C-alpha cells in the first residue's frame, strides 16, 4: 500500500544551528527515500535562486545592509513565493525535505531583538510541516566544526542566542536528534523518523497551515 491513490507527500523540515549537519543529512535522506521508491525532493530556505533570494544572499554575505525588519520580511517572502509550488508537489505525492523554514526565520530575527510575535505574523498561512526535526548541537561544538564560513550570523555569541529562541519555539511534536553523535548514527535515527512520517501522510490527510 505504498501507493494509495490519494497519497500525498510529506513536508519535513530540518532545523538547527549553523553547522549542525542539516545540509549533509538532507542529501542522505533524499537518496534513501528515492532509493526505496518514495518520490522526494530536497529544498532549502533561503532559496537563493529567486530575485528575493538574491537580495537575501547579498545581505548574508555582507554585500548589502538592510533593516532587521526588512530582511525578516524578505526571508518570509522567499517562503511565500514557493508556497504554491510546495503545495502542488505535496499534492502530487512528492515529499519535501526542507533545510530550514519559518522556525529559522523566527529564531534568527528574535535573536536580534525583534518581538517574537511580530516575527511569527508573516509566517501565518504558510504550509505547516508534518514533521520538524531539530538537529541539536551546543553552539560551542558547532563552532568547532571547521569554523564558520563568515556569513553574517555565523558567530558563536549570536548562535547561542538563536539556540535559546529555537527552544522557545519548539513544542512536543518536534523530534530532537543529538547532532553530536557520529554522522551515521544521526542518519540512522533520521531515516526512521522520516520514513514513519512519509508513510503516515499517505492516507491523504490534508496539509495544515502554520500558526493558526
Ligand atoms: P543557510 O546557511 O542554511 O543557507 O542559511 C543562511 C542563514 O540565514 C543562516 O544563518 C540562517 C539564516 N536564516 C534567517 O535568518 N531567516 C530565515 O528565515 C532563514 C530560512 C534563514
Q: What pLDDT, on a 0 to 100 scale, did the predictor assign at position 5?
A: 54
Average pLDDT over residues 39-54: 98
CA of 71 to the centre of ligand 1 (A): 11
Task: Check if 129 has its Cβ closer than 6 Å to any atom of ligand 1.
Answer: no
Burial zone of 188 (CB within 10 Å; 0-12 exposed, 13-18 middle, 19+ buried): exposed
pLDDT in tens, 143-186: 998 778 889 999 999 999 999 999 999 999 999 999 999 999 99
Residue 129 pLDDT exceeds 90: yes
Per-residue pLDDT band for 34 (boundaries 50, 70, 90) equals very high
Q: What pLDDT, on a 0 to 100 scale, did the predictor assign at position 128?
A: 98
CA of 116 to the centre of ligand 1 (A): 16
pLDDT in tens, 98-114: 999 999 999 999 999 99
Q: What pLDDT, on a 0 to 100 scale, did the predictor assign at position 147?
A: 73
CA of 153 to the centre of ligand 1 (A): 8
Per-residue pLDDT band for 35 (boundaries 50, 70, 90) equals very high
Q: What pLDDT, on a 0 to 100 scale, did the predictor assign at position 1?
A: 46
| Total count of domains within the chain | 1
β-bridge partners, 54: none
Position in ligand 1 atom list of the atom nearest CA 56: 8
Residue 17 pLDDT exceeds 70: yes
The C-alpha cell 490527510 sits at 205
CA 107 to chain centre: 12
Whether 208 is in a domain gets the answer no
Whether 70 is in a domain gets the answer yes
Whether 133 is in a domain gets the answer yes
Task: Report the C-alpha dihedral over residues 73, 62, 149, 180, rounded to 10 degrees.
Answer: -30
Whether 209 is in a domain gets the answer no
Q: What pLDDT, on a 0 to 100 scale, did the predictor assign at position 205?
A: 81
Distance CA 97, CA 106 (A): 19
Q: What pLDDT, on a 0 to 100 scale, did the predictor assign at position 189?
A: 98
Task: Check if 22 has its Cβ closer than 6 Å to any atom of ligand 1.
Answer: no
- The domain in which residue 131 lies consists of 11-203
pLDDT in tens, 61-112: 999 999 999 999 999 999 999 999 999 999 999 999 999 999 999 999 999 9
Integer angstrom CA distances of residue 24 from 42, 46, 59, 105, 117: 11, 16, 24, 21, 31
Pocket test for ligand 1, best of 15, 57, 60 (most atoms within 8 A of CB): 60
**CATH code for position 127:** 3.40.50.300
Task: Check if 153 has its Cβ closer than 6 Å to any atom of ligand 1.
Answer: yes
Residue 204 pLDDT exceeds 90: no
Distance CA 105, CA 79 (A): 10
ipTM, interface predicted TM-score of the complex: 0.99
CA of 154 to the centre of ligand 1 (A): 10
Residue 6 pLDDT exceeds 80: no
Q: What pLDDT, on a 0 to 100 scale, did the predictor assign at position 148?
A: 82
Average pLDDT over residues 18-46: 97
Amino acid at each position: 500500500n505504498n501507493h494509495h491513490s490519494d497519497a500525498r507527500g510529506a513536508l519535513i523540515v530540518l532545523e538547527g544551528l549553523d553547522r549542525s549537519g542539516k545540509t549533509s543529512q538532507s542529501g542522505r535522506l533524499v537518496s534513501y527515500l528515492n532509493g526505496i521508491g518514495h518520490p522526494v525532493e530536497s529544498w532549502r530556505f533561503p532559496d537563493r535562486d529567486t530575485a528575493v533570494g538574491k537580495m537575501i544572499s547579498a545581505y548574508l554575505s555582507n554585500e548589502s545592509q538592510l533593516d532587521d525588519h526588512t530582511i525578516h520580511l524578505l526571508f518570509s517572502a522567499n517562503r511565500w513565493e514557493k508556497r504554491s509550488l510546495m503545495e502542488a508537489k505535496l499534492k502530487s505525492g512528492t515529499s519535501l525535505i526542507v533545510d530550514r523554514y519559518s522556525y529559522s526565520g523566527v529564531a534568527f530575527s528574535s535573536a536580534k531583538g525583534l518581538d517574537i510575535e511580530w516575527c511569527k505574523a508573516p509566517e501565518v498561512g504558510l504550509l505547516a510541516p508534518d514533521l520538524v526535526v531539530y538537529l541539536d548541537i551546543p553552539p560551542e561544538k558547532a563552532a568547532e566544526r571547521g569554523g564558520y564560513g563568515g556569513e553574517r550570523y555565523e558567530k558563536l555569541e549570536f548562535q547561542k542566542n538563536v539556540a535559546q529562541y529555537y527552544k522557545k519555539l519548539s513544542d512536543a511534536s518536534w523530534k530532537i536528534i543529538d547532532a553530536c553523535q557520529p554522522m551515521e548514527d544521526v542518519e540512522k535515527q533520521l531515516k526512521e523518523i522520516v520514513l514513519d512520517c512519509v508513510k503516515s501522510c499517505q492516507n491523504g490527510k490534508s496539509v495544515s497551515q502554520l500558526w493558526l
